[in-house]
Amino acid sequence: MNKFEQLGLSESLLKAILDLGFENPTEVQEKAIPLLLEKDTDMVALAQTGTGKTAAFGFPVIQKIDANNRNTQALILSPTRELCLQITNEIKNYSKYEKGINVVAVYGGASITDQAREIKRGAQIIVATPGRMQDMINRGLVNISQINFCILDEADEMLNMGFYEDIVNILSTTPDEKNTWLFSATMPAEVARIGKQFMKDPIEITVGAKNSGSATVSHEFYLVNARDRYEALKRLADANPDIFSVVFCRTKRDTQAVAEKLVEDGYSAAALHGDLSQAQRDGVMKSFRGRQIQMLVATDVAARGIDVDNITHVVNYQLPDEIETYNHRSGRTGRAGKLGTSIVIVTKSELRKISSIERIIKQKFEEKTIPSGIEICEIQLLHLANKIKDVEVDHEIDNYLPAINNVLEALSKEELIKKMVSVEFNRFINYYKKTRDISNQASGSERRDDRDGAPRENNNGGATRYFVNIGSRDNFDWMSLKDYLKETLDLGRDDVFKVDVKEGFSFFNTDPEHTDKVMEVLNNVQLEGRRINVEISKNDGGGRRDHNGRSSGGFGGGGRSSAPRREGSFAPRREGSGGGFRSDRNSAPREGGFGGRSSAPREGGFGGRSSAPRGEGSSDRAPRRSESFGDSSRPRRPRRD
Ligand code: AMP
């Protein structure tokens, strides 16, 4: 008898488990399943995501409902659409040999009528997000007055997200005799209150020590100055060429800014946050699962329910406000028995938070130092050598070999190896030999403007700042205005910067060499019948560029500008593309890619727009979703509505 058979599960479930390849029950399954099968009981289970808790409640619920009865018998509430769909899929997989069981997912952002129609056909199990469920109850589209089971999954997260009222309202329309099973990673007061209010003598089970981090996750922190946060992130990525990670930021704005900066610097990254449309989020998640994205930069809320195996690192670019949230973050890695690392980039003033987290997760952090440039070069070099060793040769290349041999035949084997590796290596070494080490330099003199951790540009003087009489009233935001100016003035991707859009007017910068052109061309342009007026502003706005379009003083000197981009990553491809989220047909992997990221960023880049925000850190508004995230339908020119 295998261990699943000992739990008392039915033949059809055991068959499905065999198909799924689960060999042994996880701890939460071992503890919860026999109890839930045997008794009609309420239960509180403290278990994190990744512990197998979906099956821990899913198997018993499937076994206990009556497939011949079409009424809704079980309601599973979950915090996010992603998790809701994930649970629905899992339950469908588990119940595939049970005849007549229907599971319906109910969540916002999709047609409520379609969902209602599906429920009408008979849904014994509904998996729902609280907001949409409440909506359906209010409209009389669902009947949960006869359910036998209510499962609150990730209860702490649902309450974190402000669903208390909805949950209470939903629960109050369910019968008192039902069993409630509450699953939560932590037990804050609000969760305990729900438990007290709606549950009768629940059996409590805890997986591992209460609130403890998963044993498969190791925790590291890196102490840096606030202004080096972004540089530290890049170095950590460079030092882990096969990184497949979720990078957590505190706000949507930082999430977007960090992702865009990473894309601009040649990494395969994308943002995931609540300002993206559902279609955009789905697209990002699809690419992340497909590993076309190596660094998913996410807010806590958006990352809930991400069920992607083999995430190697969770990076806390900024620590969460609520320390408990750290547990949720680090639980994204070290899943299904795999090892994972949770990294915190921390400043001196935040150090005390590390000790608080250690107390909560009952695990120690290891303090590590950001790798030096030379260490990164070594890692990358070896990685490249291994990549060359392991690459599968496509014999299409045979046709070209005679010509290639002609060019290279004079070189010895040693010379050839050196040169081959140098093709990629030179870029890294050239970059890193000019940068300073950034580890352990936290001095308490963190710059105010870097406190929020979003990448910033240097504010050097020397540029020409202009005032122009068009602004948001003309349907511009800083990105569309920048595009418009570049097109109208026929300037390059980095020639217009520090664009700051107000309602009736805007400011922007160029290098002084473009001043004459700007004044002459723009003052003779009409926008929808109105003359554009541009003047040189007294306010210099900061921000001069060197010839590479980088902020001067950045590359090499300050050590916090762009990482060495890979061939082609200067991205003229984005010019005029209008949107970054391209389909595969346009997306030949970029050349080379020292560091051999498992999937090079594709042409057009995630989050890539015609111009990523470089100087616009000063803009007081976050990039808006439809414009900033690859919405190819974004008008290139302003429209009047
Ligand atoms: P969960 O905590 O429910 O999100 O599950 C995390 C992952 O572990 C999911 O991909 C499940 O399919 C998988 N899983 C659940 N139970 C087992 C098991 N007993 N053995 C192996 N994998 C499992």
Q: Model confidence over 61-100: pLDDT tens digits?
A: 999 999 999 999 999 999 988 889 999 999 999 999 999 9
305: Cβ below 6 Å to ligand 1? Answer: no
49: Cβ below 6 Å to ligand 1? Answer: yes
Beta pairing class for 149-152 and 74-77: parallel
Alpha helices in 23-111 (DSSP H): 27-38, 53-64, 81-94
Q: Retrieve residue 468's tokens.
A: 């122009």
334: Cβ below 6 Å to ligand 1? Answer: no
Contact 106, 126 (CB under 8 A): yes
Nearest atom in ligand 1 to the alpha carbon of residue 49 is 2
Question: Residue 41: pLDDT band by 50, 70, 90 thresholds?
Answer: very high
55: Cβ below 6 Å to ligand 1? Answer: yes
Q: Which of 57-71, 129-143, 319-333, 562-576 shows the lowest mean pLDDT across its residues? A: 562-576
- Kindly report the CATH number that applies to the domain delimited by 3-206: 3.40.50.300
**Maximum distance among all alpha carbons in the chain?**
85
> Mapping DSSP to helix (H, G, I), strand (E, B) and coil, where does residue 171 land?
helix
From edge to edge, which strands make up the β-sheet containing 245-248?
269-272, 295-298, 245-248, 313-316, 340-346, 217-223, 365-368
Higher pLDDT, 409 or 431: 409
22: Cβ below 6 Å to ligand 1? Answer: yes
d(CA 524, ligand 1 centre) in Å: 64
**Mean pLDDT over the full length of the chain:** 78
Helix%, strand%, coil% for the chain, nearest 5: 40, 15, 45
**What's the mean pLDDT in 306-333?**
87
User: Other CB atoms closer than 10 Å to residue 501's CB: what's the count?
Assistant: 25
225: Cβ below 6 Å to ligand 1? Answer: no
Q: What is the pLDDT of residue 416?
A: 87
Beta pairing class for 497-501 and 506-510: antiparallel
Best CA proximity match to 625, nearest among 616, 633, 617: 633
For residues 67 and 33, give the distance between their C-alpha atoms in angstroms, rounded to a whole number: 19
Q: Would you say the CATH fold of 464-536 matches that of 3-206? A: no
Top mutation candidate among 9, 22, 78 for ligand 1, by most atoms within 8 Å of CB = 22
d(CA 291, ligand 1 centre) in Å: 20
- Look at residue 226 and tell me whether its pLDDT is greater than 90: no
Contact 473, 506 (CB under 8 A): no
d(CA 52, ligand 1 centre) in Å: 4
d(CA 57, ligand 1 centre) in Å: 12
d(CA 158, ligand 1 centre) in Å: 21
For residues 639 and 181, give the distance between their C-alpha atoms in angstroms, rounded to a whole number: 53
- Look at residue 529 and tell me whether its pLDDT is greater than 70: yes
Beta bridge partners of 467: 507, 535
For residues 396 and 100, give the distance between their C-alpha atoms in angstroms, rounded to a whole number: 52
Q: What is the pLDDT of residue 321?
A: 83
d(CA 283, ligand 1 centre) in Å: 24
Top mutation candidate among 2, 13, 20, 83 for ligand 1, by most atoms within 8 Å of CB = 20
Contact 298, 249 (CB under 8 A): yes
Best CA proximity match to 536, nearest among 515, 514, 511: 515
CATH architecture of the domain formed by 464-536: 2-Layer Sandwich (3.30)
For residues 501 and 172, give the distance between their C-alpha atoms in angstroms, rounded to a whole number: 49
Contact 481, 470 (CB under 8 A): yes
- Look at residue 28 and tell me whether its pLDDT is greater than 80: yes
Best CA proximity match to 627, nearest among 617, 641, 640, 637: 637
Q: Retrieve residue 119's tokens.
A: 């429920």
d(CA 51, ligand 1 centre) in Å: 6
d(CA 55, ligand 1 centre) in Å: 7
Top mutation candidate among 83, 332, 335 for ligand 1, by most atoms within 8 Å of CB = 335
Contacts 24+ apart (CB under 8 A), 423-426: 423/592, 424/380, 424/384, 424/592, 424/594, 425/377, 425/380, 425/381, 425/384, 425/594
> What are the residue ranges spanned by the domains of the chain?
3-206, 217-368, 464-536
Nearest atom in ligand 1 to the alpha carbon of residue 309 is 10
30: Cβ below 6 Å to ligand 1? Answer: no
18: Cβ below 6 Å to ligand 1? Answer: no
Q: What is the pLDDT of residue 541?
A: 57
d(CA 49, ligand 1 centre) in Å: 9
Determine the Cα angle at 122 with ends 119 and 125, to 5°. Answer: 75
Q: What is the pLDDT of residue 307?
A: 73
82: Cβ below 6 Å to ligand 1? Answer: no
For residues 15 and 12, give the distance between their C-alpha atoms in angstroms, rounded to a whole number: 5
Contact 318, 254 (CB under 8 A): yes
Q: What is the pLDDT of residue 112?
A: 95
For residues 385 and 37, give the distance between their C-alpha atoms in angstroms, rounded to a whole number: 55
Q: What is the pLDDT of residue 214?
A: 62
**What's the mean pLDDT in 121-141?**
96
| Residue nearest ligand 1's atom 5 by CA | 52
336: Cβ below 6 Å to ligand 1? Answer: yes
Highest mean pLDDT: which of 172-186, 489-503, 560-574, 581-595?
Answer: 172-186
Q: Retrieve residue 66's tokens.
A: 């009556």
Q: Which CATH class is domain 217-368?
A: alpha beta
> Which amino acid would we find at residue 4?
F
For residues 230 and 224, give the distance between their C-alpha atoms in angstroms, rounded to a whole number: 10
**What's the mean pLDDT in 491-498?**
83
26: Cβ below 6 Å to ligand 1? Answer: yes
Q: What is the pLDDT of residue 580?
A: 28
Beta bridge partners of 634: none
Burial of 359 per CB tally in 10 Å (0-12, 13-18, 19+):
exposed
Using the Cα atoms of residue 596, residue 598, residue 599 and residue 601 in order, give the sign of their dihedral. Answer: negative
Top mutation candidate among 19, 26, 57, 59 for ligand 1, by most atoms within 8 Å of CB = 26
**What's the mean pLDDT in 552-569?**
31
Determine the Cα angle at 74 with ends 69 and 80, to 5°. Answer: 140
| Residue nearest ligand 1's atom 19 by CA | 25
- Look at residue 221 and tell me whether its pLDDT is greater than 50: yes
d(CA 97, ligand 1 centre) in Å: 19
pLDDT in tens, 453-492: 444 343 445 788 888 889 888 888 888 898 899 889 988 8
| Residue nearest ligand 1's atom 11 by CA | 52
Higher pLDDT, 606 or 73: 73
**What's the mean pLDDT in 298-318?**
87
Determine the Cα angle at 541 with ends 539 and 544, to 5°. Answer: 130
List of E strands, 214-261:
217-223, 245-248
Determine the Cα angle at 443 with ends 437 and 444, to 5°. Answer: 140
